[in-house]
Amino acid sequence: MTSFGQSPDGHEARLYTLENSNGFRAEITDYGGIIVRLFARDRKGRLGDVVLGFDTLAGYVAQSPYFGCIIGRVGNRIANGQFTLNGQTYTLAKNNRPGGIPCHLHGGMRGFDKVWWDAEPFTNADGGGLRLRYQSKDGEEGYPGNLDVSVTYLVTGDDALRIDYEAQTDRATPVNLTNHSYFNLAGEGAPPVLGHALTLNASAYTPVNAGLIPRGEITPVENTPFDFRAPHTIGDRIDRPHEQLRFAGGYDHNFALDARDGAPAIAATVLEPQSGRLLEVLTTEPGVQFYSGNFLTGMLAGKNGHVYPRRGGFCLETQHFPDSPNQPDFPPVILQPGATLHSTTVYRFSTR
């Protein structure tokens, strides 16, 4: 554990290193539960950092577009910053305006990405782990109920980073937790990710309106630019004249994953052909948000002075579907008192 800088209010951030015997390692801070660095080997055996971010805490506090952080209480967008639960309407911050249409995004003005987590490092036979805990108070960011959250990061012996989420509440409340790492398998700071080959185990997706809110439909991907059931490069169809791509400026869509049985199953694979790095994403979640870094502007200077261009990284955010509190036909996200939310996602690396 090392210091990662101080926040404006004098709180010292800590950086924890989790590593296995192969040298695969993750560096995680207790501010926002952020994955600051993630080192995986290329086909020549060379370690490289494959996530975007900043060298110090100051960058994350000042300007981060959710690099590497825990997202909650509800990940993704909620239409008009409102939902109704048990006859009561709850009003949330409208902190995002895609297409000029206000909505609530990623938990609000101070979501889980901007809070301090209680951190407990540990080791086991596989490698290093870090357990993070946070209590979100009743009314925080407009949400009901005291919510106790635990997020456990574990580096495993097969070069994977496993993330286990748990949550309990004393009042019914929506919960949708995820991680928002931006990957570039050629290495952070490398050119845009358009040449990465993506496969998604999803036969359907949830089309959005101009405000990037799902319309309520679960639509087959067949014969659309959203069909990644066989590998396609991210850039292959990203600029096609398609309404959905125009709304988002590329991909920023939820994919409905094919049959789940409760155990972590393959949701996505991504191959970067030059380095040979292969990322497999396994999850228990019903959906994954594929985001192609459309809103990166080329104005952020990240780690090692690298300026991150548009589409300089991609995200695969495992999740329940966006706007689920307002969408009765989507998998529910309401956590009830006495129940425990369990969710697992694994980012596993190899080479080809």
The residues that are catalytic are 180, 317
Euclidean distance between CA atoms 163 and 277, whole angstroms = 20
Q: Which residues pair with 278 in a beta bridge?
A: 271, 350
Report whether 253 contacts 290 (CB < 8 A).
Answer: yes
Dist. CA 51–CA 343, nearest whole Å: 22
- Strand 287-291 to strand 252-257: parallel, antiparallel, or no bridges (unpaired)? antiparallel
DSSP 3-state of 25: strand
Distance separating alpha carbons of residues 229 and 216, to the nearest angstrom = 22
DSSP 203-246: EEE--B-TTS-B-S--EE-TTSTT--SS-EETTSSTTSS-HHHH
The H or E element spanning position 248 is helix 243-248
Closest by CA to 248, choosing from 218, 282, 289, 220, is: 289
- Longest pairwise C-alpha distance within the chain: 59
| 85 token code pair | 């639960």
Number of H helices, E strands in the chain: 2, 27
**Residues 6 or more apart whose Cβ sits within 8 Å of residue 82:** 89, 90, 91, 92, 104, 326
Strand spans (E) along 111-263: 118-123, 128-136, 147-155, 160-169, 173-174, 178-179, 197-200, 202-205, 219-220, 232-233, 252-257
